[in-house]
Structure 1
């Protein structure tokens, strides 16, 4: 049995992230939603794994590591309406340095300001404070993403901060976006090619080596 076969997808991914930490753009992932039976894919920034309290409905760990993929999105974007009709989405994450690919399928969860879950609302506010100033500014404009172009003449606070430099409260259109994984397909193309499929069931995760 190879060392790969002894590891879960979560442990494999931890190593892949560490190897590519200094590679520019290594935290970009592609996420696909569904609209009327057709895929809609775009690139988003992976913001880490979201931790939740042990008693929380979304508490999900593997090898003592959190498994919820953390991202953010604009409530006005089309993926939000697509998610309302079909919550299953898939991430593809390619690591060019190690020639590894992860395909992660799961339920996409969107958390806005009206959410009454305290743990998730705290997570949303923390993410808002942690993203870059230009990223915050992108959520404060008045134009709707994906609509016909129009110049945004709204006054956007620099960096999403007030006059004292304090980060403003997140706007209603800023959403915490979480992917709760159900299936992970891992592929390594270097050396002896290796592919592994991990699936989550009622009793936890199982893994199986398959042909590349």
Structure 2
């Protein structure tokens, strides 16, 4: 059973402090390609499941990151909040839920058929998109059925690195899930 961590309180406080700043919904996601080269891109934060330590993101099945995640499903999201001068790095494995398959339900990247629960979650995310965003996946979209290229990404968070740059002195704390799935914290050098 995963227990809530102090980082969640800090994270939600930072998110609330920036809710009126549209750019604060953007974060960077880093993946690795089949040659071991890192790739980083900006995505929009689409939600968080606090009980399961899961971050939700969306992407297009035709994007490069999908082929990278099929090979290496480990990833890190980096999020900087400018007003509070805080950085969060979320590490874990990414599960991708597409039209008929789910990849990376565990750290070992395996393709499986999507569970009904996963498909319902994907449908909910699809239906919460604006019409303009749904059109970006295909002009003849059906609100009741996600486009085949719409992918829900779930970052299963196992490590969080928190850095506060203001006020001085800087504060850095690393959190990780231990073998019993309890969060452990350790101060680190900024």
* Same topology, TM > 0.5: yes
Q: Name the residue aligned to 1:29.
A: 27
Of 125, 128, 131, the residue aligned with 1:130 is 128
Q: Distance in 2 between matches of 1:25 and 1:130?
A: 19
After TM superposition, the structure 1 = structure 2 runs for residues 1-212 of structure 1, keeping only pairs within 5 Å, are 8-35=6-33, 36-50=35-49, 61=50, 65-115=51-101, 116-140=114-138, 156-157=139-140, 160=141, 167-192=143-168, 193-203=170-180, 204-212=182-190
For the residue of structure 1 that corresponds to 2:119, the secondary structure is helix
Q: Distance in 1 between matches of 2:131 and 2:164?
A: 36
**In terms of Rg, which structure is larger?**
1
For the residue of structure 1 that corresponds to 2:23, the secondary structure is coil
- The Cα shift of 1:124 comes to 0.1
Provide TM-score, normalisation by structure 2: 0.85
- The Cα shift of 1:201 comes to 1.8
Deviant stretches of 4+, over 6 Å: none
Q: Is the 8 A contact 2:122 2:152 kept in 1?
A: yes
- The Cα shift of 1:110 comes to 0.1
Q: Is the 8 A contact 2:123 2:144 kept in 1?
A: no
Q: Name the residue aligned to 1:146.
A: none
CA deviation digits over 1:136-165, x for unaligned, max 9?
11111xxxxxxxxxxxxxxx24xx45xxxx
Q: Which runs of 5+ in 2 are unaligned?
A: 102-113
- The Cα shift of 1:66 comes to 4.3
Residue-pair matches, total: 171
Q: Which runs of 5+ in 1 are unaligned?
A: 1-6, 51-60, 141-155, 162-166
RMSD of Structure 2 on Structure 1 (CA): 1.4
For the residue of structure 2 that corresponds to 1:26, the secondary structure is helix
- The Cα shift of 1:19 comes to 0.6
